[in-house]
Amino acid sequence: MTEDTPQVTGDTPPGAEHTSPVTEDTSPDAQDTSPVTGDTPHVTDHGGGVWAIKVPIPDNPLGHTLVHVLDTDRGPVLVDTGWDDPASWDTLAAGLAALGTAVTDIHGVVITHHHPDHHGLSGQVREASGAWIAMHAADTEVVVRTRSSEPGVWFDYMSAKLAAAGAPEEHIAPLRAARASGRMRTLPGLRAAVPDREIVPAELLPLAGRRLRAIWTPGHTPGHVCLHLEESHPANLPGNGRLFSGDHLLPGISPHIGLYEAPEDTRVTDPLGDYLDSLERIGRLGPAEVLPAHQHAFTDAPARVRELLDHHEERLRGLWTLLAEPLTPWGLAERMEWNRPWEQIPYGSRNIAVSEAEAHVRRLVKQGRAEAVPGTDPVTYRAV
Ligand SMILES: [Zn+2]
Ligand SMILES: [Zn+2]
């Protein structure tokens, strides 16, 4: 595959997005390409009191989350924590030990977004250390809602949503059957830690001796933030400080942009529009180096931003062409280009794919390049 062929699953397994409680996904081919440097296999020293620990994500081709450690005058602060799994926890603890510190010393936890490969271990870190956990309010809302949600509500929501998107009955039937039988797999996120501090966009985080500013970058999730370390680059690379980019800006993966799935929320959102705006914001920032949560650190953020903007524009144009024939979001997803043929895309990933198709349709409608065909049920869309 070409490196930016859209990933059908993004970085979160379907269960994490409550999209596939029925089948486990074997997801696509995001490769672990990050170079291993530093004193131990799991730790990279980025200089200037910043390190990365490669914390594994079990059974996921994405491989690992890069948990960043930021030294402050009050003790180490983590940017993201990793997946909630014993092996991930052990790796995080070993990485901190290699840096001469320990989980018990952690002063605070800054979370880029609520996905379980970023926020999974936050609760355990807080329990061990008494650290605070900070997150943007929009993602905290998702955490709180997910914790209080009854799995059945999700099944009903997903069934209705898939039907409205034009999914065939044989795709929806397993959801209804699982709902009826009460065999509902425990959804991840039900026990995610509720953050106790809010990350306020454009404000400095209260970190002793450091200048870390929050930049709200919605799109991948409604409350995704990048964290801008406004200090000169330790190797004097040209540019404006360093950026912890979470999943917003990755060197070789186009992050999943779907809908902000939320039962009982009737707001019509435009996550792809949000994402494209957020990308431009980061491009203008011009950081000297980007420290993403997966893959590896890289420079020239504006070039990567341009690639992703072009990629989405190309995709929108492709969809617009497909809509010469009126299609439901499901029909579109079947015809779109993924990293493998539609027939080979597993059940859960199809749900994510259809959500991505729908996000693109919403953008086209908002741009006046597509419209709903009056009187259709499920609603089909056509190019204008
Ligand atoms: Zn991620
Ligand atoms: Zn994510």
Domain boundaries, the chain: 14-146+188-310
Q: Does the pLDDT value for residue 4 go beyond 90?
A: no
Q: Ligand 2 centroid to 327 CA: how many Å?
A: 29
What topology is assigned to 14-146+188-310 in CATH?
Metallo-beta-lactamase; Chain A (3.60.15)
Q: Are 359 and 17 in contact (CB under 8 A)?
A: no
Q: Does the pLDDT value for residue 12 go beyond 50?
A: no
Ligand that comes closest to the CA of residue 81: 1
Give the lowest-confidence range in 84-93, 103-112, 263-272, 375-384: 263-272
The pTM of the full predicted model, rounded to 2 decimals, is: 0.88
Q: Three-class SS of residue 121?
A: coil
Ligand that comes closest to the CA of residue 83: 1
Q: Ligand 1 centroid to 118 CA: how many Å?
A: 6
Ligand that comes closest to the CA of residue 250: 1
Q: Ligand 2 centroid to 318 CA: how many Å?
A: 25
Q: Ligand 2 centroid to 376 CA: how many Å?
A: 34
When pLDDT is averaged across residues 312-334 and rounded to a whole number, the result is 97
* Residues facing 227 on adjacent strands: 214, 244
Read off the pLDDT band of 25 (50, 70, 90): very low
When pLDDT is averaged across residues 116-142 and rounded to a whole number, the result is 97
Ligand that comes closest to the CA of residue 222: 2
Q: Does the pLDDT value for residue 95 go beyond 60?
A: yes
Q: Does the pLDDT value for residue 252 go beyond 50?
A: yes
Q: Ligand 2 centroid to 39 CA: how many Å?
A: 28
Q: Ligand 1 centroid to 194 CA: how many Å?
A: 19
Ligand that comes closest to the CA of residue 16: 2
When pLDDT is averaged across residues 39-55 and rounded to a whole number, the result is 90
**pLDDT at residue number 18:** 28
Contacts of 284 (CB under 8 A, 6+ apart): none
Q: Ligand 2 centroid to 155 CA: how many Å?
A: 22
- Two tokens, residue 292: 């993403």
Burial pattern 314-341, b for ≥16 Cβ within 10 A else e, equals ebbeebbebbeebbbbbbbbbbbebbee
Ligand that comes closest to the CA of residue 217: 2
**pLDDT at residue number 41:** 67
Cα(58)–Cα(62) distance, rounded to whole angstroms? 9
Q: Are 22 and 174 in contact (CB under 8 A)?
A: yes
Q: Ligand 1 centroid to 12 CA: how many Å?
A: 7
